[in-house]
Chains A and B, each alone.
Chain A
């Protein structure tokens, strides 16, 4: 596993460690064919918004290739560390690889430096990874547009960041959505935030979760690339939250109850 103890370097840079072992994401991406057409499977809709205790993150589970549904149990919300989640719409292959690198990176940094990476550090590291994807991303073949939701223990605040395909980060103060169904969801979220019983950031966990479920129904109904969620076979959207206690995913039982409540109009 190791040939020389002397080769070990301090610093906490997992990218540099991967480079030393010969792994390079950019090399893989450079070899991808550039044909401008995207027939590879793509994820569809994910969203995130602030609620009173933290952030709700939700996404459907479909993977579409054009108008064909390729897979319906995709995990589009991926834990990065104990208080950070990444939600992905776009090409899942690259997104999963990015999340794999990031999760190891943040934990590697925390363990080597004996302190967690700062929020700014995490955001920039994420941005750097997306920039490495840039060439392939502009070809359309590997587009990834992620949402990064995290709770910063140091400042005691939750934060949502949206990244465009070129790696630029934008802090989101209320809500965001990305993917094919994002346009419809943003309209509804704006209405809920402005004219709902309370602003989204003041809603309790249950209300926020029900809104998220309803929004994904909306996206499924209105987006050409999606179909109705298959509640009769219990393939529910994936729902998670990030608070000061870390991240949490809703279980199947909880999602079943939420689905019923969202359809009753509660």
Chain B
């Protein structure tokens, strides 16, 4: 295969198709700023979408749960070793992605003999100056950074649509409740985009509306809020916040 570059390229292209097909059913994770920090959330049939990585860094994942878990552990190890050997301020999402996960993921993706990681990651950080940073990492090691929020999803079309819509709204001026409501509306509208294309979802009882999602699935969400009294500023959404969202959107 390696004597014929065309065959290697074909193998990589097949690999892309394979991973994208496996990722297709992945439910979106959205991350947006609000007036006191940033919010990351998503609906899922089982818990395991949003995690704390370090004092000011959180992770969202789409894809195979075991792959998300392995990369999560990897990020945790890197972050805590860096924090121990140097300091908490030296642990930044840019370093974790750019010098840690991205090269390893790219190498894994290009090793044709090995199974690829079926995963998309969303890494968010509220830096020491209180400025939010949003990063999106693809299964092939490609990563991008955004200033005003981003989203990941299994379907690239849904992901791109969410990205465009997030940029249109001034989320950074919203309160947490407002940011949750607006982001949930975007999630709801993205369902229509998704269900237009795939009848399999109806067979698999995938919720098509926000109400169904609240009834059937878990809403996982967290904030990185500057006003936190502790060094680690990650906080899961409270039940009150989720109930307010539920009553305002249904």
Contact = CB atoms under 8 A, between A and B. Distances in A.
Interface of A: 1-5, 8-10, 14, 17-18, 21, 23, 79, 82, 100-101, 104, 107-108, 111-112, 114, 245-246, 248
Given A2-B78, A8-B74, A107-B232, A100 B108 contact: no
B51 A8 contact: no
A206 to B, nearest CB: 20
Contacts of A5: 70-71, 74, 101, 104-105, 108
Interface of B: 51-54, 69-71, 73-74, 76-78, 80-85, 95-96, 99-101, 104-105, 108, 229-232
B81 A17 contact: yes
Contact of B231 (A1, A21, A79): A79
- Closest 5 pairs (CB-CB, A-B): A1-B100, A82-B230, A8-B74, A8-B73, A108-B80
A42 B54 CA distance: 33
Contacts of A101: 84
Contacts of B69: 10
Contacts of A4: 104
B78 A9 contact: no
Nearest to B114: A6
Contacts of A108: 76, 80
A48 to B, nearest CB: 20
A111 B76 contact: yes
B87 to A, nearest CB: 10
A54 to B, nearest CB: 15
Given A2-B74, A8-B70, A21 B81 contact: yes
A23 B73 CA distance: 19
Given A8-B70, A82-B230, A82-B232, A1 B99 contact: yes
Contacts of B77: 2, 8, 17
Contacts of A23: 84-85
B76 A2 contact: no
A18 B76 contact: no
Contacts of B76: 108, 111-112
B77 to A, nearest CB: 6
Contacts of A1: 78, 82, 95-96, 99-100
Given A1-B95, A5-B108, A111-B53, A100 B84 contact: yes
A10 B85 CA distance: 21
A2 B100 contact: yes
A2 to B, nearest CB: 5
B135 to A, nearest CB: 15
A193 B71 CA distance: 53
B78 A104 contact: no
B215 to A, nearest CB: 24
B71 A18 contact: no
B73 A112 contact: yes
A18 B230 contact: no
Contacts of B80: 14, 17, 104, 107-108, 111
Contacts of A17: 77, 80-81
Contacts of B53: 111
A10 to B, nearest CB: 6
Contact of B52 (A10, A111, A245, A246): A111
Q: Which of B52, B74, B105, B108: most chain A Cβ within 10 A?
A: B74
A14 B73 CA distance: 12
A246 B229 contact: yes
B71 to A, nearest CB: 7
Given A1-B100, A4-B104, A10 B230 contact: no
Nearest to A14: B80
A8 B80 CA distance: 13
Contacts of B85: 23
A248 B231 CA distance: 12
Q: Which of A3, A8, A111, A246: most chain B Cβ within 10 A?
A: A111
Q: Which of A4, A14, A104: most chain B Cβ within 10 A?
A: A104
B237 to A, nearest CB: 15
B69 to A, nearest CB: 8
B107 to A, nearest CB: 9
A126 B82 CA distance: 22
